[in-house]
Structure 1
Amino acid sequence: MGKTKNNKFKRPSFSPDGLSATAVKQTVEESEDEDSPAAELLDKLQSPSADVREYACASISRVVQQSQTIPGFLQRDAVRKIGPLLLDRSLAVRETAAGALRNLSACGGPEVCEDMVRQDALTPLSALLKECCAGFDGSSSPAVKGQKHTVEDVANEAVNLLWNLCESSSTAVAVFNKTGLLDVLLHCLQRHPQNMELAISAAHCLHTVTEENAELMRSVNAAVFGVLENILFSTHTSMEYTLLRTLAAGKRAHDTGRVVKTFTKSNTSILKTLATTLSHSLGLDAGELIPELWRAESAHERPAGHEAEEMEEDVRDEKMNGRKPNGRISKTKNDISDLLPRDRLELREAKALLSAQQTSLEIIVNMYCSDEPSDDEWEEMSSSDESEMCADGMSDTNSSLFSPLCLSAELHTILLNHNIPQQVLKKAEFPSAAALDCENPNLTVFDSSRMQRVQCRALTCLHNILSSMDTEFLGGASGLQAVAQHLSSLVFSSAEALKDEEFLEAVTSALRSLLQIMATKNIPQCMTPHQLMSFCEAATSCELVSVRVNALAILGITGSSLAKEKNTADTLQLIGNALLNIAMKDSNLVVCGEALDALFDVFADGDEAEKAGKNINLLSSLKALQPGFRLRKEGKGKYSPDQLCVLDNMRINLKRFISYLENLQRK
């Protein structure tokens, strides 16, 4: 029970506060009598004046960033009214119309995106993108470049809208496959010498739409590979080019993933190129580079109030693209560098660096995992053969918490040769004090969350690497102990860390994996009883089930190891009382099951465990738990089939462990 599985890292979607269809209806009903700007602005879209239409679209872009206003626009058929303006005669109207739909999709969430696709927003969007590509050559002339709005500006907004829709809607991906939009994105990618902003947006979209898209993969040809390899082998050193190469590597990794088990010289060459790209991205020391960029940014003279105004816009956008409070992994489109002011090169470079490192870590996570059931599926499953315990005794070894990962020897060697594991370890220690303690406090506040997101991805990556790599490659026993100490200290690095569920899940998953490996290798644990209990107290108070499950597993692993040592009864008593308390009081079946499993592991064998069990009246406490599980079993209507399976195993295992303890007492 409570098993975790190393699942693939899904590219996060982008809405922090997406409104479900029910929420939209409820909000509409509640606001029917309230004044809304939607009606007036949508009426202005029909104006014969291009300036008025542009003003209306730009206003809608701003207004829909307040998610409570979105239902008013949807109720008035905003998508069908804005959609035709994507093909307006005015470039300015086209750009602002695409921007309005882009913000609507980003702030409205998956339900709104699906609704936009159902209302055929992709038809004018596809036509617009194809027209833009046809007009790229003309837009590069000096006369046109001086204009406020260019074809490439329009294309950038349109590509970002396409990215949002495809990230949230499988229907949009199907339309993408059928309408030949891959060629459009490739054309945008090839504009990187002239317009890096557009190329990065296209690369993000391509990276997203090609993941797990077998139909599209079949249409990939030599021309596609040629465009990607041209980017991968570019020698530009800017951070934006580093991000572009990383995204191209991600797309190439999707292609290679289909044939990675059948190694040829060609495949090996591709994987070496990917590893080189990822290694370069992770090898950049953000702790040094970001303060340098901040100092360069601060050195620029800016008009009074200008910086504050831009920072307010940046922070608002970060909120719009931030994390869901209760999501396992942020449900956001995390890269927003395309929205930063164009004259702030250093700020854009810093954002590109962090985005490149985050994307690199996500790609590596996918390399180190197999297409198996997800964490949630494993948490709700419990096989009876794994929970079997003999009435007269129990195994003195922990069964592996993790199934073997499908990492070929060739790929393993390539990643080692490029120092990928060591670089992931360094990123798990990120963000550095130097990066956070720079001279530009406004930028630090804005960017610290992005640095911490890189750290979360590194911790998730470390969790998978630990499950598939020999300990010697990670520094042996002393190296693993140092990593374990560091991971446990991260939880208490700041008060904010204890409130960040994404971070807590990443760090507890990595620590759980690490401690399990150390226990298997008989490497002494390095956490003091006080550290252990403080860590688990913080984690078990988290609302996220997976964090609580990880904390209980950590208690079980540590307690099982301590039970084999001498003079550990006092610590085992602390662990036993904590686990009993959770098994009796937690309302979640998976958490209760993990607490019981941990108890069984800790008190399965050994003189110290037997002594501690008697001191906390373990047998009588477990007997007192039995009626509660019978009552839960009787209330079948409250539980799903999977939960009933968990209940069955909990009840059976509890009964058998009680029999085991009773046999011990008779001896």
Structure 2
Amino acid sequence: MGKSRTKRFKRPQFSPTGECQVEAAAAENGTGGEEDDGPAAELLEKLQHPSAEVRECACAGLARLVQQRPVLPDLARRDAVRRLGPLLLDPSLAVRETAAGALRNLSACGGFEVCDDMVAKDIMTPLVALLKECGAGLDSSGMSPQGKKDQNRSCIENIANEAVNVLWNICECSSRAVSIFNKEGCLEMVLKYLSRFSTNVDLAISVAQCLQTVTEENPELLASFSPAALGVLESAMLSPVSSMEHLLLKTLVAGTIWNLKDVIPCKSQAEIINAILKIFSEVLEVDSGQTVIQMKEAETQRLKTLTETEEIIENGNDDGLIEDDEMEEIPHKRKVRRKTFVSDLLPPTDKELRETVALLAAQQTALEVIVNMCCSEDPSDDEWEELSSSDESDTFMENSLSECDGQLLSPLCLSHEIHTALTSYLIPKKVVDDGRKQFTCDPRLTAIDSFVFTDIPSQNQKLRVMHTVQCRALVCLQTLVSLLDMDHLGGAPALQTLAQHLSQLLFSQPDFAKHADFLEAISSALRALLQTMASKNISQQCLTPDQLMTLCKAGVHSSNVGVRVNVVSILGITGSVLAKEDGTLETLKDIGCFLLEVATKDPSLIVAGEALDALFDVFADGKEAERASVQIKLLSTLKEFQPVFKMKIRKEGRGKYSTDQLCVLDNVKMNLRRFVAYQETVEKRLTS
């Protein structure tokens, strides 16, 4: 598994409030404008209206409209960015906030192309100016004589929060934006906001998310981190945890500090790594499955209570309760509110939801950074050339056919400091335990497996945060299993139990083949686990032959190359174990036929190479494997395919695949030649 870039946690989109809701809803439904040009033209025209209230409502309408991808080209054609940009510095604070909210949604929903276009249209100039003004405004805002929080300061903080989210989105998608961030001194500005973490954790979280993005692979920015700047990060990372949101903040800051490792003195490296992994250990220790259950139960109870209340009101006439339209006739009777929908009674945000989302975001971040901590940078081309030419032995059986282990990305490594911290804080155990209990053991979790957080709209689809964390945990599990000794993972019984749970999790999903991210994550974890178990001669009984073939047949039709690579590798690992057992001839024949078909027909050379490697593993040794190879005509098929494979590497390889992938393919090509020679001796012996 190569380096896994940290991905952002999708935030709730900006949602207009107050009187603007009607117009925003109209925009969302595409019915806001009566002109032929549609709602976009009318809303953009209103951005120039002399009334601040109209400008605010127009921005709010656009905040909803941009969440519909079909309207994005129209907005770009009408120069929406250049029209919204000046409103970031509008005299009205309310207009500034809604304009920033519209740009936040545009940058979040539009992706790389839209963000690049926003930079090209100079959105960074008013955005940086707004951030500076907000910083100055917060410095000048204080407490009212009565000691109450200054309302003006609260509004400025809200604007700053929206602006930082715009900055984060753009910098995540555009290297030009990151360059401007460096040159304009945005670091000092956002650190000022981060220092307010004790009074405004939402703003601090937005800043921490932005910093985690801009500090990744950005040596120019790293060099500008002063001791004072590092002190702000340290204060936030070491702050007490009073809520899950504060835990999320600490986790994000810890991820940022990991990005800064190159500017931290060597003598402090071990201390910093320990501090980071201590936080991650605390994050992973929280049972998010139970948290989700509690949140769902609280929501269910709240809905039940509200429904019962409505039924009482609806039937209230029997108890002397009446509706508003009857009040004029009987003024002395008690007035009750009008009937309403249950959804109208739900608060826009509630504590359980916010806490759950924050926890899941923190766990996702922790898992991603742990993977990055365990992965080295890509080796140089020279190193790969040495690898590809180092094994020139002619002795087939002494050659490790799985030397590259099918790894098509950068190899894993683990420093002594990271290894010590990982094991001392029991990170592997917690990730393994998460793999067992969080997703498979509790029937209540199984019952809400498809549960969607209904109050978090994001790019016109609901946010499946639990599913995302599950995939991250599986990727992290795969990394740790590949790196650590068996004892650190709980020994043979723990690995067997985990393998059983992973297979149960996989086959508990009736349509698992449709979810490529889930299938890639779980197949990667299962592959690493089975490989470790095979190398330690641990019995593998987590998958029956039928389940194994079901997984492979589903996975090999996936459009995701990683999934196809994983399933053929799993087949090779399991087949190599079966080859040493008696009574497995028919299963080995099925495995061999399947792998031959993949090797000769898959359009990806990477998958074909992995299938060949799997064939080498399965049929390298064992009486049953030798008999099966002859019966499926393995030798003749491979001899016919050998020149085709060489030609494909020569024609497609250099332009289509990376240097490290070509290294693996070159090794497979060399091993194929040796394997064919080996199979010739086997066939002669068995047929003589």
The bucket for the TM-score relative to the shorter chain is: 0.7 to 0.9
Which amino acid is the alignment partner of residue 658 of structure 1? V
Give distance in 1, aligned partners of 2:148 and 2:455. Answer: 40
Matched length: 611
1:125: Cα distance to partner?
0.6
CA contact (8 A) 2:170 2:177 kept: yes
Give distance in 2, aligned partners of 1:364 and 1:624. Answer: 45
Pairing 1:663–2:684 present: no
1:295: Cα distance to partner?
3.9
CA contact (8 A) 1:15 1:108 kept: no
The structure whose Rg is larger is 2
The farther-off stretch of 428-437 and 566-575 is 428-437
**1:578-597 pair list within 5 angstroms:** 578-597=594-613
Which amino acid is the alignment partner of residue 427 of structure 2? I
CA contact (8 A) 2:401 2:616 kept: no
1:388: Cα distance to partner?
6.4
Task: State the partner residue of 2:573.
Answer: 557
The farther-off stretch of 608-617 and 555-564 is 555-564
Give distance in 2, aligned partners of 1:8 and 1:662. Answer: 42
CA contact (8 A) 1:391 1:660 kept: no
**C-alpha spacing 1:206/1:656, structure 2 compared with 1 (3 Å):** same
Which amino acid is the alignment partner of residue 375 of structure 2? C
1:82: Cα distance to partner?
0.9
The farther-off stretch of 217-226 and 546-555 is 217-226
**C-alpha spacing 1:440/1:348, structure 2 compared with 1 (3 Å):** farther
Give distance in 1, aligned partners of 2:2 and 2:202. Answer: 34
1:299: Cα distance to partner?
5.3
Of the three residues 40, 43, 54, the one matched with 1:41 is 43
**C-alpha spacing 1:405/1:640, structure 2 compared with 1 (3 Å):** closer
Task: State the partner residue of 2:258.
Answer: 253
Task: State the partner residue of 1:428.
Answer: 435
TM-score scaled by length of structure 1: 0.83
Task: State the partner residue of 1:415.
Answer: 422
Give distance in 2, aligned partners of 1:415 and 1:651. Answer: 38
Pairing 1:91–2:93 present: yes
Which amino acid is the alignment partner of residue 308 of structure 1? S
1:159: Cα distance to partner?
0.7
Which amino acid is the alignment partner of residue 532 of structure 1? L
The answer to which structure, 1 or 2, has the higher relative contact order (CA under 8 A, 6+ apart) is 1
The farther-off stretch of 510-519 and 146-155 is 146-155
Q: Which runs of 5+ in 1 are unaligned?
A: 17-32, 312-339
CA contact (8 A) 1:456 1:507 kept: yes
Task: State the partner residue of 2:343.
Answer: 308
Residue deviations 1:210-236 (CA, integer Å, cap 9, x gap): 122211111112222222222222223
CA contact (8 A) 2:589 2:632 kept: yes
- SS state of the match for residue 484, structure 2? coil
Task: State the partner residue of 2:625.
Answer: 609
Of the three residues 158, 166, 169, the one matched with 2:163 is 158
Task: State the partner residue of 1:108.
Answer: 110
Task: Please tell me the root mean square deviation across aligned C-alpha atoms, in Å.
Answer: 3.5
Give distance in 1, aligned partners of 2:649 and 2:296. Answer: 60
Pairing 1:571–2:575 present: no
Which amino acid is the alignment partner of residue 519 of structure 2? L
Give distance in 1, aligned partners of 2:378 and 2:135. Answer: 40
**C-alpha spacing 1:143/1:73, structure 2 compared with 1 (3 Å):** farther
Pairing 1:292–2:313 present: no
Task: State the partner residue of 2:356.
Answer: 350
- SS state of the match for residue 115, structure 2? helix
Give distance in 1, aligned partners of 2:138 and 2:657. Answer: 57
**1:195-594 pair list within 5 angstroms:** 195-256=200-261, 262=266, 264=267, 266-297=268-299, 308=343, 341-342=348-349, 344-372=350-378, 385=389, 390=394, 395=399, 398-401=402-405, 405-429=412-436, 430-431=438-439, 432-435=442-445, 437=447, 443=453, 449-526=464-541, 527-594=543-610
- SS state of the match for residue 464, structure 2? helix
**C-alpha spacing 1:117/1:659, structure 2 compared with 1 (3 Å):** same
Residue deviations 1:292-347 (CA, integer Å, cap 9, x gap): 33444555576976663698xxxxxxxxxxxxxxxxxxxxxxxxxxxx934x1221
Q: Identity over the aligned pairs, expressed in percent? A: 49
- SS state of the match for residue 483, structure 2? coil
**C-alpha spacing 1:238/1:549, structure 2 compared with 1 (3 Å):** same
Which amino acid is the alignment partner of residue 560 of structure 1? S
Task: State the partner residue of 2:73.
Answer: 71
**C-alpha spacing 1:34/1:585, structure 2 compared with 1 (3 Å):** farther
Give distance in 1, aligned partners of 2:540 and 2:505. Answer: 17
**C-alpha spacing 1:217/1:471, structure 2 compared with 1 (3 Å):** same
CA contact (8 A) 1:15 1:109 kept: no
Residue deviations 1:386-414 (CA, integer Å, cap 9, x gap): 88684875647632525763322222112
Residue deviations 1:24-83 (CA, integer Å, cap 9, x gap): xxxxxxxxx973322222221111111111111111111111011011111111111111
Give distance in 2, aligned partners of 1:383 and 1:305. Answer: 70
Task: State the partner residue of 1:167.
Answer: 172
Give distance in 2, aligned partners of 1:349 and 1:637. Answer: 49
